Each structure stands twice: as C-alpha cells, then as structure tokens.
Amino acid sequence: MADLLKGLESIFPSGRLLCDPAYLAAFESDGLTAFRTKPLAVVIPETEEEVIAAVAWCHQNQVPFVARGSGTSLSGGSLPVANGIVIALNRLNRILKLDPHERIAVVQPGVVNQHVTNAAAPHGLYYAPDPSSQSICTIGGNVAFNSGGAHCLKYGMTSNHVIGCKAVLATGEVVEMGGPSLESVGPDFTGLFCGSEGLFGVALEVTLRLLPKPEKFHTVLVGYRSLQAAGDAVSAVIDSGLLPGALEIMDALSIEAAEAAVACGYPKGAAAVLIVELEGPRERLEHEIKCLEAVLVKTDAFAQRVAEDDAERLSIWRGRKSAFSAVGRLSPDFLVQDGVVPRKRLGEALVRIEQLAERSGMRIANVFHAGDGNLHPLIMFDGKEEGALHRAEQVAGELSRICIEMGGSITGEHGVGMEKRDFMPEMYDSLSMEMMAQVRSAMDPKWIANPGKMFPGNEAPALSTVGLHPLEKAGVISRE
C-alpha cells in the first residue's frame, strides 16, 4: 500500500496526506458512530485543483474514495471505505462570491451552512435550509444529502436553493451544471446531483439562492397531553390553509433532554410540544395570527406560550435545535432514524411508534419536522450492553418498514447511506433500482465514489445496459 500512495505524495505534502493510525482514527466514523472503518489515508486539499487531482488518481488506480466535510451524517453516508481514501474538504471554505442584487452566493463545499447566512445578513438576506447541525455542517454535505431543516415545510430542501454546481465526477471529469439564474435550459442535472450522496463525485463550487429575511416572526409553543393530540393539531393547522415557516413536534423524552441541556422552559408535564412559526410581512401576519389562534383553540392543548421578542423566540428554538445532542444526557448511545409518513397519518404513526417502544422495551425519543411528516425517532441504548446495538437496529428497521407501509419514505433528509441501504428494494421495485444503478454507473463506471452506500451490498450490480453518459448526451461534457 505504501507504494500505491506514492502517487498521492506528489499532490499533497506530508502534513496534508495522513496515514498515521492516530490521525486516521478521527475519520473512521461520522455521526452514525455504530459503524467504524479506518481508511487507507486521508488527504486534505486546499484548492480545487488538488481535489480534481485526487479524484483522477483514484480513478486511474481504482481506489475508492469518500468526500467528507464535518462528518455530521447520521446515516453513515461519509463512512470511510477500507483500503480507500478520505478527501477532507474543510479547508475549501471560502465564499467566492456574494451578490446581494442577484441574491446568490457562490461557495466552496467546506463552507459551514450558518456562515452563508452570517455573510448575507448585512444585506438583509439569508440562506434558508437550516439543519439542526447548521452551525457545523458544510454546504458540500448538505448538497450530497439534500438536507432540510425545521423550515423546509415552507422553503423546501437544499435542492430548492442550489441553482448551480461545479463538480468533479468520479472519472476525473469536471462538469458545470446550472448557473446563476433560477431559469435553466435542459435536464436538471443540478437537481440530480443534489441528494446523490457522493456517488457521482465531489462538488467544487456551489451556487446558492439567497432569500430576503422575513420582516416579522410569530413563534408559538403549545403543550399537549398526548403525542396523537399534537400530531392531529399539525393536520388542523395545515387544513386551515396556513403555511407556517416551521411546524415541529418534540415528545416528553426529548423535552426532558432539552430542558436538562439548555433550560428552554417548555411546559411541565407535556407529553408533546408543538412549535409553530409564522413569518412574513407584518400585514399578512396579522391575519395569519388570528387564523392560527382560532385553529389552536380547537385542539386539545393545555398550555401555550407566544414569543414576545427575539430572545424568547431563540429560547424556544434552542430547545428544538439541541434535541439530538441533548438526548446523550439520557442515554450513553442512541440511533437517530429519519423516515417520512403522509401528514394525514402522522397521529397514527406516533401511536405506532409508542407501541413499538413498549413492545421492544427500548426508550424512543421523538422529534419531528411535523409539517411534512418527517419523523426523527431517537432509539436509546447502551452500547456496552451485549446485544443492545443489534436490538436498536431491529427497532430502527421496524420504524423504516412502518414508514413504507404507510405510504411514506425511509428517509426525508438524512439520506440512505449505510444505515438504510438494505431497505431500498422494499421501497422500490427492481426496475427502479436498476435505473438508479445505471445512472450511478454513467457517472462512476468503476463504482469508486463512496461505494457501499445507498445500494445493498458493496459490489456494482450487473446491469443490462448503461448507454451513453447522460451529461455527454446533454452536451455538458465531451470526450473528444
């Protein structure tokens, strides 16, 4: 292996080509710590040219690679590959352009999500996708997994805000998709690249759409005696015709954890809380606030608090944003699930999750992007207890099957990664799976880009036909 890595030594100096086991240990896992693999090496590029050279070297030598930012993936999406390399992108962290008139930002993949909004704030703009990890997660990872966040109900996912992308495919070819305009001609390759989980290649530059900051917020915290009542309240809000910026649910366990972590002041004795946030022009909000009050009074709520100022609003959101990490105060280990059910069946899904927790004997804390039916059950266990991880994974599998049975999806925003790849054939028929594999093979014929993710097994499946490279058909690239 030492001879193999000599080619990388010509690209990266010793301080940015890491082979020492002590350094590699920091990269052997991501946010899903149940899986660990030590890579062959880690490279730390500082320029686009170095990323391109690393990918081209991997293609030439048929060495698998994984691109990684902050490693916050909760599905094992940035788990290294044995005998492969990790391309760590954190030093590609420059905002290359911010145009307040066109309302766009062009950024490198290692830029932290929150930093885009910070840079746009003096111009009255912000970047809408807001994952819970937005203070540390990077745009490259957000693009790879089409991240959402608490406000995705109204503003959509990352793919709704990425309008252009420059990337190096797994073959070493550099392509440009989309551009600075919201209007594009031809196939939406930018949309195809968003959510591809690193199976096509590595983003080098990403063009983001910025939005004007809302004039006013109206944030309400509502307490309920049961999870189903909170779920039914979500349906009532949406049925009223309102489109809140955010609709979030937390159950008793996640409330307990958040209170211990950040003392957010949620209603005592609540089985669930609902956070509703309206935002927009003052005149419109005056009408929407009255509508929301009329809806909430008809739900089975026992407590309600309206944020009177920005500090109180941030206090309410601090509890929600801290929920995942705060659960660590209640349990030494936990698995975070990410499934979707139809919004109308949210109350039913919550009941089934409660029944599953009772049946399995495992505690499950629940946090939801309730407005679009995106569930985030957190399955608690002690990894030092023999068989506990296996039981937690079984419960996670049952949760995925519940989502499939109810007409939903096995993932909303965390991706398939390692964790859910075996459930893909349960959600999609064989023809759909082959079509996805053909698209992947067109971008990465050797299956070296983030192998072992999304598709069951670790080997490229046998395909009937692959055909011409789709980007070649569209004239985006040429092999001449």
- Residue 332 is given by DSSP the state S
- pLDDT at residue 474, rounded to an integer: 46
Q: How far is CA 139 from CA 44, 122, 171, 191, 214, in A?
A: 17, 20, 22, 15, 22
Backbone phi, then psi, for 159, in 5-degree steps? -60, -25
Q: How big, in percent rounded to 5, are the helix, strand and coil portions of the chain?
A: 40, 20, 40
216-421 is classed CATH 3.40.462.10: yes
- CATH topology agreement for domains 95-212 and 216-421: no
Environment class of residue 468 by beta-carbon count within 10 Å: exposed (0-12), middle (13-18) or buried (19+)? exposed
Please provide the DSSP assignment of 270-324 as one string: -SEEEEEEEEE-HHHHHHHHHHHHHHHTTS-EEEEEE--SHHHHHHHHHHHHTHH
Environment class of residue 60 by beta-carbon count within 10 Å: exposed (0-12), middle (13-18) or buried (19+)? exposed
CA nearest neighbour of 189 among 149, 211, 159, 214 = 159
- pLDDT at residue 47, rounded to an integer: 97
In angstroms, the CA 430 to CA 68 distance is 30
Which residues are registered as beta bridge partners of 303? Answer: 223
CATH code of the domain made up of 95-212 = 3.30.465.10
CA nearest neighbour of 134 among 207, 42, 69, 217 = 69
Count Cα atoms within 13 angstroms, Cβ side, for 428: 17
- pLDDT at residue 463, rounded to an integer: 60
Helix (H) or strand (E) holding 232: helix 227-239
Q: pTM to 2 decimals?
A: 0.90
Which residues are registered as beta bridge partners of 369? Answer: 248, 374
Q: What is the pLDDT along the chain (480 residues), one digit of tens a residue?
A: 667 888 899 999 989 999 999 999 999 999 888 889 999 999 999 999 999 999 999 999 999 999 999 999 999 999 999 899 999 999 999 999 999 999 999 999 999 999 999 999 999 999 999 998 999 999 999 999 999 988 999 999 999 999 999 999 999 999 999 988 887 778 899 999 999 999 999 999 999 999 999 999 999 999 999 988 998 899 899 999 999 999 999 999 999 999 988 889 999 999 999 999 999 999 999 999 999 999 999 998 999 999 999 999 999 999 998 888 888 888 999 898 999 999 888 878 888 998 999 999 999 999 888 888 899 999 999 989 999 999 999 999 999 999 999 999 999 999 999 999 999 999 999 999 999 999 999 999 999 999 999 999 766 666 654 444 444 444 444 444
In angstroms, the CA 472 to CA 478 distance is 6
Count Cα atoms within 13 angstroms, Cβ side, for 136: 9
Count Cα atoms within 13 angstroms, Cβ side, for 305: 19
Domain-wise residue ranges, the chain: 2-88, 95-212, 216-421, 428-473
In angstroms, the CA 119 to CA 470 distance is 36
CATH topology of domain 2-88: 3.30.43
CA nearest neighbour of 412 among 371, 457, 363 = 371
